[in-house]
Structure 1
Amino acid sequence: MTVLEVLLLLLAGVGAGALNAVAGGGSLLTYPALLAVGVVPLHANATNAIAVAPAYTAAAIGSRQGLRGQRRRVLGLVPTAFTAGLAGTILLLNTPHHLFEDLVPLLVFVATALVAVGPWINRRVMALNGGRALHPIALHLGVGFGCLYGAYFNAALGLVLIAFISMCLPEALSRVGALKNAMTFIVGVVTTVVYGIFADIAWWAIAVLVPATFFGGYVGARLFVRIPDRPLRIGIVLYGFVLSVILLLR
């Protein structure tokens, strides 16, 4: 591995960690970087899932302030996130590589659209529901779908979780993001264990990406809690639509 390849992986890792902490989509940086340094596509996908997992850990640590008062909610969602994440890894290990790549642009676009209309839907739902949060089952279904998708293919995992969580809970976006980071941490643990055992991994690339994604995830999470809701949501929506177009073109 050359110095240029190491530098490419380091930059991709820091950028991916920060993006995953804020909105998701960091795999759009790390996956192509792995391909560029010579990792074959199938191995790059599994390697990427493990490489971005430390960023989820760092993001969860960095946004722990936003989890104050949500301890019971987080503990209740852990089994859902774990089960869905495990199902996603099993699905990926038994699915042709090209199939999930074809689905990603549509999934990212839908998730971004949900983030864009999330506040309006949230207000309508809360009005119909007397201003209260939706039934916990709705939150579990949304988190379960997001974690299954994230274990299957990491791109825009954060967008999906933010969209569903923000529609189910009358919380500030920073608190929604903190809950999202806790759930992506669970996904990261599951994918690391399953793919580490059953998939072919480029461990030499992991050694470069892990510290980079961890650092990027912590920095991104710290910035997340300092940005007001409206500009943050606008930024996430614009980023998501651009991401979906890029994925479609690829």
Structure 2
Amino acid sequence: MNLLQVSLLLAAGLLGGGLNAVAGGGSLITYPTLMAVGVPPLYANATNGIAVAPAYAAAAFGSRENLRPQKRRMLQLIPTALVASVCGALLLLNTPHSVFEAIVPFLVLAATVLMAIGPWVNRKVTALNGGRDLHPAALHAGVFAGCLYGSYFNAALGLILMAVIAMGVSEKLARVGALKNFCTMLVGVVTCVMYGVWAEVDWLAIGVLVPATFLGGYLGARVFQKIPERPLRIAIVVYGLVLSAILLVRSF
């Protein structure tokens, strides 16, 4: 890996970490950058999954005050999140390279659409639960689906989990976010172990991205917070649409 490639990864990590601190969607920056520096799509996905995992753990640790009041719910979700994450990782490990390259444009497009409609979905699902918790099975089903997706393709994982958790429980946004952070941490643990052992990943790229995303998250919390979220989200959506179109053209 040359100096230009390392510089691109550093910039992607800083920007991706900053975006995650405000609007989410950081993987829409880091994942294509990994491909741009020469990591094949399937390996780039596994590499990205490991690279973002430490930031998930940090977010969960930072949310511990809002996790304590829902300790029982949190513990009950552990088996669901772990089993779903293992299933998603196994699915990725058994996906042929040609198949993954064919579906990547659609996965990026799906993540981009989620970025666009995420706030609207969160408002709607929060209103739909009518101020009461749904049956626990509904929450577990939503978390299972979200963690399955997240361990297979990480982009927009936080948005998915925020929506399904907000639909299943009647809690203030901070507690919903804390539970989301806890579940993403579990996804990160599973992907680190399974992809680190069985997938071919670029450890040098991981070594560059991990500190960059951490620093980006810290700076984003301080600097990006001063920028209105809406323009940032629009910019990410436009970027994601262009990227998915480019990937789709390249797949033919």
TM-score, length-scaled by structure 1:
0.82
1:123 and 2:130 aligned: no
Shift of 1:151: 0.4
1:103 is matched with 106
Cα 1:123–1:38 shift into 2, 3 Å: closer
The unaligned stretches of length 5 or more in structure 1 are: none
Aligned runs of 1:155-234 on 2, under 5 Å? 155-217=155-217
- Determine if the alignment matches structure 1 residue 53 to structure 2 residue 53: yes
Deviation per residue, 1:52-94 (Å, 9 max, x gap): 1111111112232332312111111111111000000111112
- The one-letter amino acid paired with 2:6 is V
Q: Counterparts of 2:160 and 2:68 in 1: how far apart (Å)?
A: 22
More divergent stretch after superposition (153-162 vs 163-172) = 163-172
| Contact 1:132-1:170 within 8 A present in 2 as well | yes
Q: Find the aligned partners of 1:107 and 1:132 in 2 and give their Cα distance.
A: 29
**Deviates most, 75-84 or 33-42:** 33-42
Match of 1:245 among 238, 241, 246: 241
Task: Answer with 1-10 or 106-115: which moved more.
Answer: 106-115
Number of residue equivalences? 239
Amino acid of the structure 1 residue aligned with 2:100: H
Going from structure 1 to structure 2, the CA distance change for 1:237 and 1:144 (only over 3 Å counts) comes to farther
> Is residue 62–residue 219 contact of structure 1 (8 Å, CA) maintained in 2?
no
Distance 2:173 2:84 in 1: 23
Q: Does 1:26 align with 2:1?
A: no
> What secondary structure, in the 3-state scheme, does the structure 1 residue paired with 2:165 have?
helix
TM-score (norm 2): 0.82
Q: Classify the secondary structure of the residue corresponding to 1:88.
A: helix
Tell me whether 1:42 sits opposite 2:42 in the alignment: yes
Aligned partner letter, 1:125:
N
Q: Secondary structure at the match of 1:133?
A: coil
- Equivalent pair of 2:125/2:166 in contact (CA under 8 Å): no
Structure 2: stretches of 5+ with no match in the other structure: 247-252
- Give 3-state SS (helix, strand or coil) of 2:25's partner: coil
After the TM superposition, which parts of structure 1 deviate over 4 Å for at least 4 consecutive aligned residues?
217-220, 234-244
Tell me how large the CA RMSD over aligned residues is: 2.7
- 2:249 paired residue number: none
CA–CA separation in structure 2 for the residues paired with 1:236 and 1:163: 20
- 1:50–1:188 Cα contact (<8 Å) kept: yes
